[in-house]
Amino acid sequence: MKKNIVIVGAGLAGSLCALYMLKRGYQVRIYERRPDMRKTALVAGRSINLALSKRGWTALEKVNVDEYVRDIAIPMPKRIMHDDDGSLTDQYYGNEDQAIFSVPRGGLNVLLMNLAEKEGAKIFFNHKCIDVSFDKAELIFYNNATQKNITIECDLIVGADGAYSAVRDKMMRQDRFQFSQFYIEHGYKELLIPANPDGTHKIEKNALHIWPRGNFMLIALPNLDGSYTCTLFSPFEGNDSFEKLDTTQKVNEFFSRVFPDFTKLIPDLSDQFFKNPTSSMGIFKCYPWHLNDYCVLIGDSAHATVPFYGQGMNASFEDCRILDELINDEDDLKSILIRYSQARKSNGDGLQDLSLHNFIVMRDKTADPKFLLQKKIEQKFSKLHPEKWVPLYSMVSFTNTPYSEAWKIGMKQEKLMEQIMSIENINELWDTDEVMKKMLKIVKNTQKSAKKCKKVQKSAKN
């Protein structure tokens, strides 16, 4: 097995991957385009936070770094929905003992880099990857400090350089390499709710707050210092869009009208609105995720997605774990990379489908009484028959079920729930044994016909 690893990008995926490779006894060098974030103001100031869930934790546990991350993570067992009139509704994500966690991106990245360095990784900052050889494990970096190019050789290149990956760009020279990108019509902008003067949180700490307003949506995740990092999702064009909100007056009027209770939490709202950038969101797909036996993509470089399921980082961490498991299985690197590409691609697609789907759920459905009732029924059924039903959100956030499988099961569940939701007077009947019995019957029938189908397919094959 080859031993000299070069990772491009010291972001979340690159830093965790380094820990996996170091644990195997490999030599690891990481080349990062940016300056060392530990020496700049990036971490101390505002840095966005991310929701970490089960598959992220699983990957962290495997290299024994989860305990360090727990120190900077805030559990969020529920979302709190903020209505137009300021009234609040709690929606638990799963059972009472299940939570997703808010972690600061900068803090987590610094932690993983520190741990990787402690284990022996060498990180070279201000080194931008500008070329990857097409026939051997060789890369060219532009060194910002010396303003010179350097050529680096290794045994395995790991492209962890994010959505606009230079490594993937070079892989595109492969015959039949597939690539597509799709931007949604919404963008996002970050805003910060400051802490109270005594450092406490202005709104409930242990929750993800959400203001769903159809075409617009605001979310807020808690930070340890009492502040909240908020993200406004809005179309780039059209009524009240980013393009149209071009004066202080328009911004203040928009927020007071659409998010009245939120507006009161940020004294310098319009200043922040104009100071902070507006960013786009897209889905980037490619295949294969490897090149010969010496180059592989992990994280956003392979499967950048829109952030509505809070799974991009979790999926990137899962890439590291799965790649490591495949390396465990056999020695031939080419075969490992082929198996990795094959195994992960369908899950990348599943992740992207789920992410787009959750955009609709979050912006439209979290405020829809029918949707809320459906979730209550699913939750009740799942508690009665946990072996027969895991709600989609729980499957994605609280288990390691492959994304592609979760997506397929989720779509089947949706169809099945249509039958339950069409029961007359379901609003009144939902809590009765009758409804649970009917649901059990439908689930059993669906399982029976799925089994039959499999049998037919099997005998057709034979």
Which residues are at the interface with ligand FAD (CB under 6 A)? 8-14, 31-34, 50-51, 128-129, 160-162, 166, 188, 231, 299-301, 307, 310-314, 316
Least separation in angstroms between residue 458's CB and ligand FAD is: 37
Least separation in angstroms between residue 101's CB and ligand FAD is: 10
Residue 193, class by beta-carbon neighbours within 10 Å (0-12 exposed, 13-18 middle, 19+ buried)?
A: buried
3-class secondary structure, 320: helix
Of 166 and 283, which CB lies nearer to ligand FAD in the complex structure? 166
Residue pair 105/49 in contact by the 8 Å Cβ criterion = yes
Q: What is the C-alpha to C-alpha distance for residues 422 and 426, in angstroms, rounded to an integer?
A: 7
Least separation in angstroms between residue 311's CB and ligand FAD is: 5
Of 18 and 420, which CB lies nearer to ligand FAD in the complex structure? 18
Least separation in angstroms between residue 20's CB and ligand FAD is: 13
Of 51 and 377, which CB lies nearer to ligand FAD in the complex structure? 51
Of 312 and 391, which CB lies nearer to ligand FAD in the complex structure? 312
452: left (phi over 0), alpha (psi -120 to 50) or beta: alpha
Residue 192: both structure tokens together:
């910060």
Of 316 and 374, which CB lies nearer to ligand FAD in the complex structure? 316
The 3-state DSSP composition of the chain as helix, strand, coil percent (nearest 5) reads 45, 25, 30
Of 17 and 245, which CB lies nearer to ligand FAD in the complex structure? 17
Least separation in angstroms between residue 284's CB and ligand FAD is: 11
Alpha carbon of residue 246 to chain centroid = 31
Q: What is the C-alpha to C-alpha distance for residues 89 and 195, in angstroms, rounded to an integer?
A: 22
Of 13 and 323, which CB lies nearer to ligand FAD in the complex structure? 13
Cβ neighbours around 87 below 10 Å, total: 9
Q: How far is CA 104 from CA 108, 227, 266, 365, in A?
A: 6, 11, 20, 28
Least separation in angstroms between residue 457's CB and ligand FAD is: 35
Least separation in angstroms between residue 335's CB and ligand FAD is: 24
Angle at which helices 12-23 and 105-118 pack, to 10 degrees? Answer: 20
Least separation in angstroms between residue 86's CB and ligand FAD is: 25
Which are the contacts of 360, defined by CB distance < 8 A and separation ≥ 6?
none
Q: What is the DSSP letter of 388?
A: T
Of 166 and 266, which CB lies nearer to ligand FAD in the complex structure? 166
Residue pair 133/141 in contact by the 8 Å Cβ criterion = no
